[in-house]
């Protein structure tokens, strides 16, 4: 049975608010009016991406019989906010800690890759929804709003996947790299391509190429 502590729920909520604010600052160009408009939209993409990313680590750990708990990293919150002023987000407001006397590299790698895989899947789901409603969004304000949500959802989740797969420090990528270099290469390759396309081509043009619009 999956259990959460009060402190864990508190930390997840605080991290969610701050990471959403960081991405909102990035996408709004720090314009207050734009920030207020984009914040609720960003919260959906970040909410699903960040929360499910961390919960996937927790559930994977508990699947192997370990106790796991998300804990806030206050310094990471500050880094996230500051980095948004420099054109990127240092998306490490906290981490899921797995408590065990011994954790082999394979198990640790599987637990670690669960988060980025969830982000990749979410990004593709957002892209699929965006592609499905693209034509209709020209004539429906509600669908247009949903298209914007899905576009940001694709961008944010692609970025979260590739950021967490960087093989440095205590990021997921370092643990996956130690476990299996091939799996690390494939995963960061997919996430990297998605992020590159989101930053250069853009979601709308990606969809146009897919559906031949």
Using one digit for the tens of pLDDT, what is the confidence trace for 36-62?
888 998 888 888 899 999 999 999 999
> How does residue 202 score in pLDDT terms, banded at 50, 70 and 90?
very high
| Chain-centroid distance, C-alpha 91 | 8
- H helix count then E strand count, the chain: 9, 2
Q: Are 72 and 11 in contact (CB under 8 A)?
A: yes
Kindly report whether the global pTM for this prediction surpasses the value 0.75.
yes
Crossing angle of helices 172-179 and 181-200, rounded to 10°:
140
Residue 27 has pLDDT above 90, yes or no: no
| Pairwise pLDDT comparison (203 vs 29), residue with the higher score | 203
Q: Which position among 8, 54, 69, 204 bears the catalytic label?
A: 54
* Residue 8 bears catalytic tag: no
Distances (CA, A) of 104 to 169, 178, 180: 18, 11, 12
Using one digit for the tens of pLDDT, what is the confidence trace for 143-161?
999 999 999 999 999 999 9
Sign of the C-alpha dihedral, residues 129, 22, 37, 54?
Answer: positive
């Amino acid at each position: 049975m999956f259990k959460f502590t009060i402190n864990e729920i508190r930390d997840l909520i605080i991290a969610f608010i701050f990471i959403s604010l960081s991405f909102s600052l990035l996408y709004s160009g720090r314009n207050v009016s734009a920030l207020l408009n984009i914040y609720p939209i960003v919260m959906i993409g970040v909410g699903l991406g960040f929360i499910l990313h961390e919960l996937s680590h927790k559930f994977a750990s508990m699947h192997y019989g370990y106790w796991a708990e998300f804990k806030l990293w206050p310094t990471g919150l500050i880094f996230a906010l500051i980095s948004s002023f420099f054109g990127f987000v240092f998306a490490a407001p906290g981490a899921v800690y797995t408590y065990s006397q011994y954790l082999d590299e394979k198990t640790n790698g599987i637990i670690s890759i669960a988060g980025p895989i969830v982000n990749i899947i979410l990004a593709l789901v957002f892209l699929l929804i965006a592609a499905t409603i693209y034509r209709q969004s020209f004539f429906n304000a509600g669908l247009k709003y949903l298209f914007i949500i899905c576009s940001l959802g694709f961008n944010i989740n692609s970025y979260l996947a590739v950021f967490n797969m960087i093989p440095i420090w205590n990021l997921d990528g370092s643990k996956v790299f130690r476990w299996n270099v091939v799996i690390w290469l494939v995963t960061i390759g997919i996430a990297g391509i998605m992020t590159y396309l989101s930053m250069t081509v853009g979601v709308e043009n990606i969809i146009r190429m897919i559906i031949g619009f």
